[in-house]
A and B are shown apart, each in its own frame.
Chain A
């Protein structure tokens, strides 16, 4: 029996075949094939077909071999093709490429998703991150505008606000950055959005660095 994520994924794939930088293709013989969306049509890709866990290594490093601490950064490596037998395996593999994003998408589709403003996230930090709450609004505009930008930063669609008053996360980001229907890769295709319901730990760290002048 399919779980909620697999059911939602199955429905979503009737209307689109992309999530982030990953192209999803249904195979005639059954199952699915994933690749970097830039590599669609290439027939000399390295094929992986042992397990969805192959996605852990495929998503760990960029083309230059650098570690990818942020999986939704637009630097997924190229030249691979991952073959999966079932919808369950597909769901598991996508969760390794973009951890948690399918679950958040399901929560959003079923109106169960709660968003948390940046200021609230910063205010509850402790230890070395407590100082991040001192960040100014001007610094937030710059930090969020730079760190979260789809072009070179992060492919997520921001759903959170800056504060409880509903101020926009950053005045430096285009309106499309907050639109779940917009393809953040710039390919202008229909895709499953990588939704961001709350600022991530990496952004909190960037706020901390801004406060400390690093």
Chain B
């Protein structure tokens, strides 16, 4: 049971030096959880933005905050959750006691939680409300081949779980940089309707530009995959409103197909519930183990 009077929550995100929307979902989830007053304090820390992970060590006064729940807002358990976050926060394992007596509890990343499957289904239903699932293929799209982030594995796991429900005609995991390629969606699917949900924590260049280009629903934008040309800050600053437009033009008609394109799954407000659940799960699992 989380005692709100002396417990704090730290949500850790990746952040970005070029994408202004990268930290937005993490900050929004923090605001929502702060509003619910479940914790005495709620803070955020980022690898590439401020507060930094190193700043986070000082965010909570040990005189009043005795426990800090750290929840990585990451889609999978990979390099950042396993290596970078513990190192930068000086965590010794799942439970770390500071010299001040303050206890830090390192929880599982949000992407591991079973509620993610429900949110993927909800997002797919919302984006294609008039499409009969029996005539619809659902594609869950991750990056693939990225730095030990296991997002490809997580996307496959979610696709398997949704497929087992038997709701959609087909459920596939697809990737930007490895097979099965999202650019092959017309070969991979046979139904009239196709729903595509990006399996990312936030919207950014991948969901705004790269995947739409790979799907063939937009012609502009950068196909920056493995390109030596990195985007400049100004390139990345293309109006967010304009970039968000890609989610508001559904359905896209491609040949005789209707394609419905959703925003990244991590932007769903339901992730605030998952963050809270991951903190609560830490204590319930600890009590079972103890």
Contact = CB atoms under 8 A, between A and B. Distances in A.
A71 interface: yes
A107 B61 CA distance: 8
B188 interface: no
B249 interface: no
B1 interface: no
Contacts of B17: 69, 202, 205
Nearest to B83: A126
Interface in B195-219: none
Nearest to A69: B17
Contact of A100 (B59, B233, B237): B59
A136 to B, nearest CB: 24
Interface string B42-58: 00110111111011101
Contact of A103 (B58, B64, B147): B58
Interface in A112-148: 112-113, 116, 124, 126-127
Given A104-B55, A198-B54, A205-B17, A126 B61 contact: no
Contacts of B52: 100, 198, 200-201
B237 A4 contact: no
Contacts of A96: 27
A67 B237 contact: yes
A179 to B, nearest CB: 21
Nearest to B40: A3
A51 B55 CA distance: 24
Contacts of B223: none
Interface residues of A, number: 36
Contacts of A100: 45, 50-52, 55-56, 58-59
B67 interface: no
A67 B236 contact: yes
Given A99-B51, A100-B55, A124-B87, 13 more contacts: A3-B41, A4-B63, A53-B31, A56-B24, A60-B20, A66-B237, A67-B236, A69-B233, A100-B52, A112-B58, A127-B147, A197-B58, A202-B48
B20 A5 contact: no
A51 B34 CA distance: 13
A67 B54 CA distance: 23
Tell me the interface secondary structure of chain A in the complex.
loop
A9 interface: no
A56 B49 CA distance: 13
A103 B55 contact: yes
A71 B17 CA distance: 11
B59 A103 contact: yes
A66 B58 contact: no
A202 B49 CA distance: 8
23 contacts: A5-B61, A51-B31, A53-B27, A56-B24, A67-B233, A69-B233, A70-B50, A72-B50, A99-B50, A100-B45, A100-B50, A100-B52, A100-B55, A100-B59, A103-B60, A112-B58, A113-B58, A116-B54, A124-B87, A197-B58, A198-B52, A200-B50, A202-B17
B84 interface: yes
A173 interface: no
A65 interface: yes
A198 B89 CA distance: 13
